[in-house]
Structure 1
C-alpha cells in the first residue's frame, strides 16, 4: 500500500500541518511519500506520485473557515487529472486551526468531501484538530526540556562523577509526560485515523483538541504569537517594519 501525505501549509518550515502529517505517517504502514504543496511548481510532482497511490492524506490549516487559497487551484487541477486518469485512491484530510474547538474545521471537511464527489474519488473522512498551533509549542518545549536535561546531566556529572543521575532523568521523563498529556487527544485520534488508512476503511469525520483549558489556551496562544510576531519583524507581524516599495504595492 502506498500513502501520499500532502503538507498544504504555505509555511516553508515548522508548520503544524507538516508536523501532524509526519506524526501520522509514523503509524501508517506500507510505502509513504511526503509531498509539499506551496506553489504551482509542486503540482506535477504530486500528481505523478498519485498515479500509483492507494491513499492520499491532505494535512492543512483552516484559513477563513476553508482550505488555504493556494490549495484551491491545485484541487481544480487534481479534479481534471482524476477525471482523465480515474485513479482508485482514498482521500483523508487532517485539518488544524488556531481556535480551541476542533469542530471549527467542519466547513473545510465539507469542501474536501465535495471535491471528492466532483472528482469521482473516494472520500474517507478526516480529523479536525482544535488548537493545532500548540503542537508546534509542544515540540519546541520537548526540545528545550531535552537540551536542559543534557546540560543538567553534564553539570551533575562534572560535580559528582555520575553522568546518568537518576533524579535528572526522572525529572526529564516527568516533564515530557506533562507536555504529551496536553496532546494526548490529538495523538489518540491520530493513531485512530492511521489505523483506518492502513485498513482502507472510511474514517468518517471526527474532532479533537489540545487538552488545555480555554482560558489558558488563549493566554498561551497570545504569548506564542506575540513572540513569533516580534521575531518575524515587528510587534504586529511586521506592520511597523520597513518595506520595499514593491511590497507596499501588493
Structure 2
C-alpha cells in the first residue's frame, strides 16, 4: 500500500501543515511519500507519485474559508489528471486554521468533497483542526524545553556528579505532559484517520482543536500576531531585511 502526503502550505519553514503531515505519517503503514506543493513546478513530482498511490492525504491551511489559491489551481489540474489516467485513489484531508474552532474548516472540507465527485476519486473524510498555529508553537516549545533540559542535566552532572536529578526530570516530564495534553485531541483523530487510511476505508469528517482555554488562546494569539505585524509588516518593515 502506498500513501502520498502533500504539504500544501506556501510556507517554506515551520508550517503547521508540514508538522501535521509528519505527525500523520507516524500512524501510516506501507510506503509513505511526502511532497511539498507551493507552485506549478511541484505538480509533476506530485502527479508522478500519485500514479500508483492508494491514498492521498492533503495537509493544508484554511485561507478565507477555503483552500489557498495555489491549491485551488492544483485541484483543477489534478481533476484532469485523475480522469485522464482513470485513477481512483482515496482522498483524506487535514485542514488547520488560526481560529480556535476546528469546525471553521467545514467549508474547506466541502470543497474537497466536491472536488472528489468531479475527479471521480473517493472522498474518505478528514480532520479539521482549530488553533493550528498554536499547535505548531507547542512543537517548537517542546524542542526548546528538551534542549534546556539536557543542558541543565549536563551542568548538574558536572556540578554534583549525580546522574539522576529527579527534580529536574519531574519538571521536564510535567511540562512535556502538559504539551501532550494540548495536542491530545489532534493526536486522537490523526491516529483514527491513520487507521482508516491503512484499511482504505472512510474516516468521516471530524473537528478538534488545541485543548487550551479560549481566553488564554485569544490572549496569546493577540500578542503573537501583534508582534508578527510589527516585525513583518508594520513599524519595523524593512529594518530586519538583509541589505
Please give the residue correspondences for 1:136-151 in structure 2 after superposition, counting only pairs within 5 Å.
Answer: 136-151=136-151
User: Relative to structure 2, which stretch is displaced further, 171-180 or 103-112?
Assistant: 171-180
User: Relative to structure 2, which stretch is displaced further, 113-122 or 146-155?
Assistant: 146-155
Please give the residue correspondences for 1:1-250 in structure 2 after superposition, counting only pairs within 5 Å.
Answer: 1-230=1-230, 233-234=231-232, 237-238=233-234, 241-242=237-238
Question: Displacement, 1:92?
Answer: 0.3
Against the structure 1 CA distance between its residues 184 and 167, is the aligned structure 2 distance closer, same or farther, given a 3 Å change threshold?
Answer: same
Question: Displacement, 1:238?
Answer: 4.6
For 1:113 and 1:43, how far apart are their aligned partners in 2?
Answer: 21
RMSD between superposed Cα atoms in Å: 1.4
Question: Displacement, 1:158?
Answer: 1.8
Give a deviation string over 1:108-145, Cα, whole Å, max 9, x none: 00000000000011110111001111111111110111
Paired positions, count: 239
Contact 2:5–2:32 (CA under 8 A) maintained in structure 1: yes
Question: Displacement, 1:239?
Answer: 6.6
Task: Normalising by structure 2, report the TM-score.
Answer: 0.94
Unmatched tracts of structure 1, length 5 or more: 244-250
Against the structure 1 CA distance between its residues 69 and 30, is the aligned structure 2 distance closer, same or farther, given a 3 Å change threshold?
Answer: same
Task: Normalising by structure 1, report the TM-score.
Answer: 0.92
For 2:198 and 2:227, how far apart are their aligned partners in 1?
Answer: 39
Please list every run of at least 4 consecutive aligned residues from structure 1 whose deviation after the TM superposition is greater than 6 angstroms.
none
Give a deviation string over 1:228-250, Cα, whole Å, max 9, x none: 445xx44xx3575249xxxxxxx
